Structure 1
Amino acid sequence: MPTYELTVLLRTMTRPEITSTLKRTADSIFSSGGVIRKIDSLGLLKTPYKISSHGAVHREANYFLIYFDASPSSILNLGEGFSRDIDIVRQRIYKQITEDPKPCTLSEEVKPPAYRLEVQKMMEIAKAQQKKKFEYNTGLDYYPFQR
């Protein structure tokens, strides 16, 4: 199951209301077969612009990030369920891209730049893109049109 990041903006509420809303979102993730990895709270922040949601205009919101694993087929249903919740002002689900760790060898890093494979490849590319000097095809040893 791939890892997803759920960005949730909750309307301005008291702490018990926020926890009940987060429990509802967590229950919907669990009911779809997902597993929550981490929940981060960014706090109560001003929104970058006025956001109207469910008939109200919001200028501040509680920002939360929820990292979870779920099947790709359940993501669409989760998004629709979150959009119907009155306490959620804005929500977006992003797929986390995991980069493979590159092997790091000390022997390669200690070499002078001219002997590293990466630098040699860059030099070959630079030579291939270098402009060739214009040659006159007159057959003479000098350029006849100079003053």
Structure 2
Amino acid sequence: MITYELMLLLRIMPKPELVSTLKRTAESIYNKGGIIRKIENLGTKDMPYKTSVHGVVYNKASYYLMEFNVPPSSLHDILDEYGRDIDIIRRRIYKKAEPEYQECTLHEELQPAPYRKNVQELITQARKLDKPKFQYNTGLDYYPFQK
């Protein structure tokens, strides 16, 4: 199954109500055949702009991030269910990107700048753009009749 991330913005409420809301959201994922990998509390913050949901205007919210696996066919049902929940201000589901492997280049980066491979490539590109100097066997490095 594909791993997804669910970003939840919940209204500010007491801890017992918050726990019951998170249990409800988790149970809906379980009921659709999903597995929750991680739940992360990102804290209570001001929202970037006011949001009106279910007839109430919110400017602060509790931010939560869930990682879960679920069949792609049930994503629409989950979003629809969360849209009807009055405790959820905003919800977004993203496909989790796989981390790209990057090899370590520390030994190359510790070298002085002129010895690095990427700096040498930049120098060769810059030399290609240099204008050729004028030569008519006059000893001048410019054309004297052109302004």
Q: In structure 2, what is the equivalent of residue 30 of structure 1?
A: 30
Counterpart in 2 of 1:7?
A: 7
SS of the residue aligned with 1:81? helix
| Partner SS for 1:77 | helix
Equivalent position amino acid for 1:88 in 2: I
RMSD: 2.9
Q: Deviations over 1:96-145 (max 9, x none)?
A: 222222233676566665554444444444344x2423648xx6736452
Which residue pairs with 1:21 in the alignment?
21
Name structure 2 gaps, 5 residues minimum. none
Query: In the TM superposition, what is the alpha-carbon distance from 1:45 to its structure 2 partner?
Result: 2.2
Deviation at 1:46, TM superposition (A): 2.3
What's the offset of the Cα at 1:38?
A: 1.2
Q: Aligned residue for 1:85?
A: 85
Matched, 1:68 2:68: yes
Matched to 1:40, the amino acid is: E
Q: How many aligned residue pairs are there?
A: 144
- Runs of 4+ in structure 1 off by over 6 angstroms are none
> What is the TM-score with the length of structure 2 in the denominator?
0.76
Give % identity.
48
Provide the residue aligned with 2:56 in structure 1: 56
Shift of the 21–110 alpha-carbon distance from structure 1 to 2, 3 Å rule, reads same
C-alpha displacement of 1:18: 0.9
Q: Quick one: distance in 2 between partners of 1:124 and 1:70? A: 51
- Quick one: which amino acid aligns to residue 15 of structure 1? K
Partner Cα separation in structure 2 for residue 109 and residue 98 of structure 1:
26
Residue type matched to 2:60 in 1? E
List alignment gaps of at least 5 residues for structure 1: none
TM-score (norm 1): 0.76
Instruction: Using the TM superposition, give the Cα deviation of residue 33 of structure 1 relative to its aligned residue in structure 2, in angstroms.
Output: 2.4
Superposed, 1:106-117 pairs within 5 Å as: 113-117=113-117
